[in-house]
Amino acid sequence: MDVFDKLKILTDAAKYDVACTSSGVNKKAAAGGIGSAAASGICHSFSADGRCISLLKVLMTNVCAYDCKYCINRRSNDTPRASFTPRELAELTINFYRRNYIEGLFLSSGVMKSPDYTCEQMIEVLRILREEYRFSGYIHAKAIPGTDSTLIAHLGMLADRMSVNIELPSQGSLQMLAPDKSKHSIFAPMGYIQNRIQENSTDIIKYRHAPKFVPAGQSTQMIIGATPDTDFQILNLTEGLYKKYKLKRVFFSAYMPVTENSLLPTIDTKPPLLREHRLYQADWLLRFYGFKASELLDQHHQSFNPYIDPKCNWALNHMEFFPMNVNRAPYSDLLRVPGIGVNSAKRIVIARRTATLNFDGLKKLGVVLKRAQYFITCGGKAMDSLKITQDAVLRSLMSEKILSIYHRDFPLGPKSKQLSLFEQPLMIQPNLTQEGIGKCLTSQI
C-alpha cells in the first residue's frame, strides 16, 4: 500500500474530529530547526464544507480494538484499514509544512493492540519531528483513553495541545453506544493532563527553561444529536469542563450518521447543524461574553430557541436591562447587547473617551445597528428611524435564512390564525416602549 492510499484512508477516518485549531502558543524555530506557532492560530485552507484546515489531521491507524457504535472505525465495521509508520508520517508532515500547506500535525489514532502500544507509536512520530527535524510547529495529539499515565506524560512533553474526546455527553449515553469506554477512562487522562499542566506552570516559574507540558492546553469534543441529551445538559457539562479542567476549547460535532444501528438515529437523519451552531454561539458567550450557562438555559428551557440566537434570546427575556446608554454602560454590560461584539464593545470604550457617541459613530465602530437599535440609546435618545412592527423586529433579529424557516413553521396570512411570535397581534405604535418589543417576541420564545 503506498502513501497515497494510506493518506486517503487515514484522512477519511480522521475527518469527523472537529478540532483543527493551531492556537494558544507563540514560538519560533530554534536555530537549525524549522517551524513556528502563532498564538492566534493560522488557517491554511478551508475545505468545501467550510471548515478550517490548519493541521494535517490524520490517524496513526484506523485499526481499532473498540466497537463504539457511532464510529466509522469500530471493530465491526467492514472498511479498508491502514497504518502509517512513524517515519512516513513525520516525513509527510515536514514536506507539507515546508510548502506552507499546514501549521502542523493533528495526530489521533484507532486503538491498535492496546492503548499503550498505540501511544508509543504516536510518541515515535512526535519524537522524530521534534528531535530529528527540530520541528517547532504545532502538534495536537490525542490521548487514547486507557493509556498509562507515564506515556501520556511523555506525549505531553512533545505536543502543544492534547485532547481527550468525551464523545457522548452523559454516562448513560456512553454505556449505550461506547461500551468499551467509561466516564472514568475519559476523565482520568483529562484530569491527569490538567494536573501536569498546573505542576509544569510552577516549574516554569522556578526554572525559566523547564520544558513545557502541553503549552497550548487541552480541548475536547462531543457528539451532538446521537443521543437524547439536551442542550441544557451539554452546556452545563461544557461550563463544568472549562471550570474544572481548565479546557481551552470544547468542540461540538453534529452527529453524521455513518452506520445503521437501532440505538442510533437512522442513516438518513440530517446532521443537526443549526443545533450545533447554537451551541457554539452559547460556548462563545461563556468564554468571551461573561455569560453563565444558567443564564442561557434552565430546567424549564432545556433547548435553544431555533429561530433566535442565545444572546438575543437572553436580551429579549431581560428587557429590564435595556435600553442601555452606550456612552455610559460598562464594558461588561455592552457585551450583553445583541449586535455588539467583543471588538465593537472595545472600540466603544476607546472611542467614547474623546467623543460622545451617536448612532452614526456606532456604525463606524462596527456595531450591527439592525440588531442593536432596539436595545440601546445614545445620550438617552433612541434611533430616529426605529420601527417597532412585528415584521421589522423579526427581520432585524433573524437572519434571512432563519426568517424563511420561521415563516414556514408559523405561516402568517390574513385569514389563517396560526401560531405567531406575538401572543396577540400588536398595534403598530410609533411610541411603543422597549418592553413592547420584549412582549412581542418573548411570549412564544
Partner 1 sequence: MLNQSNLIYRYDGSFDGLLCCVFESYDKKEIPMDILLTDTPQTMLFHTKEIMTDSLKSNRVLSSIPRKMGIDALDFVRHAFLTCLTQKELYILLFLRMGYRYGPSVMNMLTDNVVNILFKAVKHLEKESHLLKGFLRFSIFNNILVAEIEPKNYVLPMMTQHFCERYPEERFLIYDKTHSMALVYQPYQPTVIPIDDLELPEPNEEEQSYQELWRLFYDTIEVQGRHNPECRMSQMPKRYWKYMTEFGCPQKKPLLKLENSSANRTGEYY
- What is the 8-class DSSP label of residue 130? I
266 binds partner 1 (CB under 8 A): no
- The stretch near partner 1 (CB under 8 A) out of 49-57, 61-69, 82-90, 227-235 is 49-57
Q: Is 216 exposed, middle or buried (0-12, 13-18, 19+ CB in 10 A)?
A: buried
CA distance 387 to 390: 9
Helices then strands, counting H and E runs in the chain, come out as: 17, 10
53 binds partner 1 (CB under 8 A): yes
Q: Which of 220, 219, 217 is nearest to 197 (CA)?
A: 217
The size of the interface with partner 1 (CB under 8 A), counted in residues, is 56
Q: Letter for the amino acid at 415?
A: K
Write down the least CB distance from residue 40 to partner 1, Å: 8
357 binds partner 1 (CB under 8 A): yes
Q: Which of 314, 295, 318 is nearest to 305 (CA)?
A: 314
416 binds partner 1 (CB under 8 A): no
Please state, in angstroms and as integers, the Cα–Cα distance from residue 269 to each residue in 144, 314, 378, following that order.
Answer: 29, 30, 48
50 binds partner 1 (CB under 8 A): yes
Q: Of these, 157, 204, 237, 351, which contacts partner 1 (CB under 8 A)?
A: 351
Of 130 and 196, which CB lies nearer to partner 1 in the complex structure? 130
Residues 116-155 that bind partner 1 (CB under 8 A): none
Q: Of these, 96, 135, 245, 252, which contacts partner 1 (CB under 8 A)?
A: 96
98 binds partner 1 (CB under 8 A): yes
CA distance 378 to 326: 6
444 close to 424: Cβ distance less than 8 angstroms: no
35 binds partner 1 (CB under 8 A): yes
Q: Of these, 19, 68, 92, 162, which contacts partner 1 (CB under 8 A)?
A: 92
383 binds partner 1 (CB under 8 A): no
Three cell numbers written together for 38: 502563532
Q: For every residue of 264-282, which 3-state class applies, written as one string?
A: CCCCCCCCCHHHHHHHHHH
Write down the least CB distance from residue 234 to partner 1, Å: 19
- The stretch near partner 1 (CB under 8 A) out of 76-84, 216-224, 360-368, 423-431 is 360-368
Write down the least CB distance from residue 348 to partner 1, Å: 9
267 binds partner 1 (CB under 8 A): no
- The stretch near partner 1 (CB under 8 A) out of 9-17, 170-178, 193-201, 327-335 is 9-17
Q: Of these, 72, 176, 204, 256, which contacts partner 1 (CB under 8 A)?
A: 256
CB-based contacts of 313, cutoff 8 Å, min separation 6: 296, 304, 305, 445
253 close to 163: Cβ distance less than 8 angstroms: no
CA distance 73 to 67: 8
Write down the least CB distance from residue 38 to partner 1, Å: 7
The contact set with partner 1 (CB under 8 A) reads 3-4, 7-8, 11-12, 15-16, 28-29, 31-36, 38, 40, 42-54, 56-57, 92, 95-96, 98-101, 103, 254, 256, 271, 273, 347, 350-351, 353-355, 357, 360-361, 364-365
